């Protein structure tokens, strides 16, 4: 992991927690205590500060398949039948088990709610999960309750008939009212935990954006995904020099306006029901943190 100039001076455990996907700060601290983070073979401490140009080596623990413990955690379900469940995921909730989050994830809650009724196509650690949504992104996520539904929904992701609409607060103002980012996305050439717009080992990625409200130095935009690459909206908005407010990975590494994670909300989903073929469209309101931020920007 290479430290860039604008990332210098950040406490190491804070920096790593922001850049290692699905790892909490406490989990990162355990990594540091175990000697899994080094610089030129020397162990580092959690209170060490990042230095520009430095390369850190991080040895992540091997992911082991494990039985998921069902947990009675609250779920905000906006649609459900015998095949499909759509829920409104709160910000900060990890979707599937990973180091540091084995029993407090969305999957743990789904296992309790659905019992034995979840698809198994994505394996033991991700039952029912059809598409990704980041830990710090709020909003709608579709879950398949059997393999038949999962295969049908996955096909809709491939042919783009499963529509996903997001709202985001981004940095800067726009001259245009709408536009499209058509730029391939692949692994970052240096930091393998990040994605980037790149021609090498990449896949096509298309995001359509539209201005909803302007606030001078910030803008509320609507983003519609034509493709579904990892971190797509975050990478594409940063690529056009409008990183998402609070995105310390692809934007300013320090919090702004009290936001220390991306202000991104999945507000709407539309898909064909796997069994009936009927078009299902669902939406959810903006979370409280986003409404409060927008009121602050309007003032």
Report yes or no: 106 and 100 within 8 Å, Cβ to Cβ.
no
Report yes or no: 221 and 209 within 8 Å, Cβ to Cβ.
yes
How far apart are alpha carbons 280 and 274 in whole angstroms? 10
First and final C-alpha spacing in the chain: 40
Residues across the chain: 299
Question: Phi/psi zone of residue 186: left (φ > 0), alpha (ψ -120 to 50 degrees), beta?
Answer: beta
Q: Which residue in 83, 134, 136, 247 is the catalytic one? A: 134
* Pick from 265, 270, 271: nearest CA to 285: 265
Q: Is 13 a catalytic residue?
A: no
How far apart are alpha carbons 50 and 103 in whole angstroms? 31
153 exposure class (CB count in 10 Å sphere: 0-12, 13-18, 19+): buried
Q: Would you list the DSSP string of 193-249?
A: TSEEE-STTEE--EEEEEEEEE-SSEEEEEEEESS--TTHHHHHHHHTT-PBTT-TT
> Which residues are CB-contacts of 172 (< 8 A; sequence separation ≥ 6)?
217, 218, 219, 241, 242
* Pick from 193, 182, 241: nearest CA to 17: 193
Catalytic residue numbers, as ranges: 134
């Amino acid at each position: 992991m290479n430290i860039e100039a604008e990332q210098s001076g950040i406490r190491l455990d804070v920096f790593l927690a922001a850049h290692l996907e699905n790892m909490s700060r406490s989990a990162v601290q355990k990594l540091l205590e175990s000697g899994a983070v080094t610089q030129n073979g020397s162990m580092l401490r959690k209170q060490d500060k990042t230095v520009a140009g430095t390369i850190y080596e991080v040895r992540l623990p091997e992911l082991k398949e494990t039985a998921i413990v069902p947990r009675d955690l609250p779920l905000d379900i906006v649609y459900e039948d015998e095949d499909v469940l759509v829920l409104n995921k709160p910000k900060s909730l990890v979707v599937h088990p990973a180091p540091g989050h084995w029993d407090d994830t969305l999957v743990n809650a789904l296992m309790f709610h659905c019992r034995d009724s979840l698809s198994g196509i994505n394996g033991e650690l991700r039952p029912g999960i059809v598409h990704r949504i980041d830990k710090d992104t709020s909003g709608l996520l579709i879950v398949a309750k059997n393999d038949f539904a999962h295969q049908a929904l996955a096909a809709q992701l491939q042919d783009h008939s499963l529509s996903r609409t997001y709202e985001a607060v981004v940095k800067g103002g726009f001259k245009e009212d709408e536009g499209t980012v058509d730029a391939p996305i692949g692994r970052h050439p240096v930091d393998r935990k990040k994605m980037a717009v790149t021609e090498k080992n990449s896949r096509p990625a298309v995001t359509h954006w539209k201005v909803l409200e302007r606030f001078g130095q910030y803008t509320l935009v609507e983003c519609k995904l034509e493709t579904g690459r990892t971190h797509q909206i975050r990478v594409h908005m940063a690529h056009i020099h409008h990183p998402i407010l609070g995105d310390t990975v692809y934007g300013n590494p320090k919090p702004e306006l009290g936001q220390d994670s991306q202000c991104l909300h999945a507000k709407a989903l539309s898909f064909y029901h796997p069994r009936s073929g009927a078009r299902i469209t669902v939406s959810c309101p903006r979370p409280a943190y986003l409404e409060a931020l927008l009121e602050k920007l309007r003032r």
